[in-house]
Amino acid sequence: MSIALIVHGGAGTWRPGSDADALAGIRRAVKAGRDILERQGSALDAACAAAVVLEDESVFNAGTGAVLNFDGFVEFDACVMTSHDKGIGAVSGLQRVQNPILVARQVMEMTDHVMLTGDGATRFARVMGHPDYDPVTPARLADWQDKKQKLAFGIGRDPQASMKIRAFLQSHPEYAGGTIGAVALDAQGHLCAATSTGGVTMKLVGRVGDTPLPGCGTYASIDAAVSATGTGEYVVRSFAGREIADRVARGVALDTAMNAVLDQMQADFNADVGFIALDRHGRTVAAHRTAHMPHGWFRNDGLTEARMQA
Ligand code: GLY
């Protein structure tokens, strides 16, 4: 039986000079997941371990270093999904924890629910032993202040603020944020997808993206597991994760399925998104419609690789 893992650090336009940090983080995440799978560990443990590494790397928009919302604080979304038992755990609008993916996993393992949101998610995290943690880095705070200044908006003073944000982010895609994700296949043939994000930069408070929505930004079936990145509204409106996996279930090759969904999303929305995925045979695929998407993988054939572009 094959084992394999693929991770991503967010689709978008990466600032010149951030490539080396991103690829180093990707390699560490692949190693963390690989070590677990090679010791016959579960896809769930491997995907979560890789996601934790990426959350802890401040270069990525998840965990420490996540982007700030419109009001200047971080709201996390995260989801984990397992193929064999249809397990799902998700959080949205979670605040002030170090590793949102672990809280999502605890929702799956410790509650009867699929998703906890907002204050309830944060309260649950505290009960589960996650201490208060400030994820805001000086770099992200400076980004946020810079954006505020460039946008020259003020809540209540400028009714066109959201239009300005949209135009601003289109002309400065390097601000758009990203997401991290990990998808793993273990020796039992079980697939797992894990995705975690601070969401899109300058989002309205309470905005929920694709990441915590099963079948959208995160999905695992017995045929394929998928993690998405990029502007989540397009991923949600395309039910992209499930769409890719369902095509694989119908016999379409994973790379063909992913590119067909990306083509459709480009036709529908000109969507700035990307995906990683893994099928039950251990085939890894990454594709994106953005300038960059740092990603890396290992497969049973011994191939390990990390790249900024697919
Ligand atoms: N894909 C991450 C988000 O839109 O929140």
3-state secondary structure 6-56: EEECCCECCCCCCHHHHHHHHHHHHHHHHHHHHCCCCHHHHHHHHHHHHHH
What b/e readout covers 107-140, taking b as 16+ CB neighbours within 10 angstroms?
bbeeeeebbbbbeebbebbeebebeeeebbeeeb
Say whether 201 is catalytic. Answer: no
Query: Is residue 101 pLDDT above 80, yes or no?
Result: yes
Neighbour tally for 36: CB within 10 Å: 23
How many domains would you assign to the chain?
A: 1
Q: Contact, 298 vs 183, CB < 8 A?
A: no
Q: Which tokens hold the place of 251? A: 């016999």
Task: Give the per-residue pLDDT at 15.
Answer: 80
pLDDT > 70: percent of the chain: 92
Q: Give the Cα separation of 65 and 274 in Å (integer).
A: 21
Query: Is residue 161 pLDDT above 70, yes or no?
Result: no
Query: Which numbered atom of ligand 1 lies nearest the CA of 198?
Result: 5
Helix spans in 128-274 (H)? 138-151, 161-171, 232-238, 240-249, 254-269
In angstroms, what is the span from residue 301 Cα to ligand 1's centroid? 32
Strands 87-94 and 115-117: parallel
CATH number at residue 144: 3.60.20.30
Q: Contact, 46 vs 186, CB < 8 A?
A: yes
The residue written with tokens 């990466």 in the block is 14
Question: Residue 46's closest CA among 200, 306, 225?
Answer: 225
Single pTM value for the model = 0.94
Going by pLDDT thresholds of 50, 70 and 90, the confidence category of residue 202 is confident
Span 16-28, mean pLDDT?
92
Going by pLDDT thresholds of 50, 70 and 90, the confidence category of residue 162 is low
DSSP 208-231: --STTSBTTTEEE-SSEEEEEEE-
Q: Contact, 118 vs 77, CB < 8 A?
A: no
Q: Which residue has the higher pLDDT, 161 or 109?
A: 109
* Residue positions counted in the chain: 310
Task: Give the per-residue pLDDT at 164.
Answer: 59
Task: Give the per-residue pLDDT at 143.
Answer: 87
Task: Give the per-residue pLDDT at 142.
Answer: 92
Q: Which tokens hold the place of 309? A: 């572009």
Query: Is residue 155 pLDDT above 50, yes or no?
Result: no
Structural domain of residue 49, as residue ranges? Answer: 4-307
Q: Give the Cα separation of 202 and 220 in Å (integer).
A: 30
- Alpha carbon of residue 9 to chain centroid: 7
| Average of per-residue pLDDT values in the chain | 92
Query: Is residue 21 pLDDT above 70, yes or no?
Result: yes
Task: Give the per-residue pLDDT at 146.
Answer: 83
Q: Contact, 310 vs 286, CB < 8 A?
A: yes
Going by pLDDT thresholds of 50, 70 and 90, the confidence category of residue 303 is confident
Q: Which of 23-32, 255-264, 294-303 has the lowest mean pLDDT?
A: 294-303
Q: Give the Cα separation of 298 and 7 in Å (integer).
A: 9
Q: Contact, 286 vs 303, CB < 8 A?
A: no
The residue written with tokens 């979304």 in the block is 77
Question: Residue 229's closest CA among 184, 202, 269, 195?
Answer: 195
Out of 64, 82, 122, 179, the active site residue is 179
Sequence-distant (≥ 6) Cβ neighbours of residue 231 within 8 angstroms: 176, 200, 271, 272, 273
pLDDT tens, position by position, 118-132: 999 999 999 999 999
Query: Which numbered atom of ligand 1 lies nearest the CA of 228?
Result: 1
- In this structure, the residues whose C-beta lies within 6 A of any atom of ligand 1 are 77, 179, 197, 199-200, 209-211, 217, 229-232
Nearest CA to ligand 1 atom 4: 232
Nearest CA to ligand 1 atom 5: 199
In angstroms, what is the span from residue 199 Cα to ligand 1's centroid? 4
Sequence-distant (≥ 6) Cβ neighbours of residue 92 within 8 angstroms: 75, 76, 77, 115, 116, 117, 118, 121, 208, 212
Query: Is residue 176 pLDDT above 70, yes or no?
Result: no
Ligand 1 pocket, mutate which of 69, 202, 211, 233 (most atoms under 8 A from CB): 211
Task: Give the per-residue pLDDT at 156.
Answer: 44
Q: Which of 144-148, 181-185, 200-204, 246-250 has the lowest mean pLDDT?
A: 144-148
pLDDT tens, position by position, 267-288: 999 999 999 999 999 999 999 9
Span 154-178, mean pLDDT?
57
